[in-house]
Amino acid sequence: MSRGAQKQIFKTRQLPNPNEYVQALLGEFSAWAYDEEKILEFKGKWRQEFQVLPETPLDLEIGTGNGFHFAWRAGQYPDRILIGLELKYKPLIQSIRRALRSDCKNARMGRYNAVLVKDLFVPGELNDIYIHHPDPWAKTSQNKHRLIQPEFLKNIFELQKSGSIVEFKTDSEDYFDWALPFFEKSPYHVIGWTRDLHHSEFAATNFVTQFESLFLRKGQPIYYAKLLKQ
């Protein structure tokens, strides 16, 4: 999505009939979740916002969905900061609500288009990045809208510290076949990949989300790749 498309998204504070999730973003959860305007204030200042040491790891989850992985990760790693990005209000609120119910004070959510991630972080500010089940844009004519593109990979590479990883999961074989060549040609080192995550060497450390479990019950594989910024 272009920068122009991002600007065409209604600003949260200008919505004429805000639903309960919009109201929650601007009210109850405003200290923990940020709209597309407020989130811009923290670029280069995320660790200051959390009042943590400069060396504290700062991770990013792009597309948190209903927030099961987001809340789990924040809870499992309380010594790391976790930022989640979502465009839709309901999953945004679901994600931060789950994290807070688990007493995770190290997590924040933001409403923003991940294609424009360079608006939110400075080079070297990020550590690990998680991209789980992004919109596959299944029609060939829609492939240009897919998140995984050479420029996007170049951008997130610049934003990460050396030694950081990118974890990618999808239930779409077509999307995986599209993304893998981009991974291999990117600045990253591809640690490994598999066409069947749950029967691979990566299964032991994988957190199975509710969404992922739907495909497992159907016997459908999950496609996975792990990248490293050396």
pLDDT, one tens digit per residue, over 153-196 is 999 999 999 999 999 999 999 999 999 999 999 999 999 999 99
pLDDT band for position 3 (cuts 50, 70, 90) = very low
Name the pTM for this structure: 0.94
Catalytic residue among 59, 103, 128, 135: 135
**Regarding beta strands 107-111 and 129-132, do their DSSP bridges make them parallel or antiparallel, or are they unpaired?**
unpaired
pLDDT digits 0-9 by tens, 59-109 = 999 999 999 999 999 999 999 999 999 999 999 999 999 999 999 999 999
Query: DSSP string spanning the chain?
Result: --HHHHHHSPPGGG-SS--HHHHHHHTTTTTTEE-TTGGGGGTTTHHHHHT--TTS-EEEEE--TTSHHHHHHHHH-TTSEEEEEESSHHHHHHHHHHHHHTT--SEEEEE--GGGGGGT--TT-B--EEEES-----SGGGGGG-S--HHHHHHHHHHBPTT-EEEEEES-HHHHHHHHHHHHHSSSEEEEEES-GGGSTTGGG----HHHHHHHHTT---EEEEEE--
**Does the annotation count 128 as an active-site position?**
no
pLDDT band for position 139 (cuts 50, 70, 90) = confident
Q: What range defines the domain where residue 70 resides?
A: 3-228
Specify the pLDDT at position 38: 97
10 contacts 89 by C-beta, under 8 angstroms: no
The mean per-residue pLDDT over the stretch 138-159 comes to 91
The mean per-residue pLDDT over the stretch 25-45 comes to 97
pLDDT band for position 9 (cuts 50, 70, 90) = low
CATH of the domain at 158: 3.40.50.150
Which one-letter amino acid corresponds to residue 151? E
How far is residue 198 from each of residues 40, 68, 73, 177, 209, measured CA to CA in Å?
A: 37, 18, 19, 18, 12
pLDDT digits 0-9 by tens, 149-161 = 999 999 999 999 9
Query: End-to-end alpha-carbon separation of the chain, Å?
Result: 29
Structure tokens at 204: 């032991």
Give the chain's domain count: 1
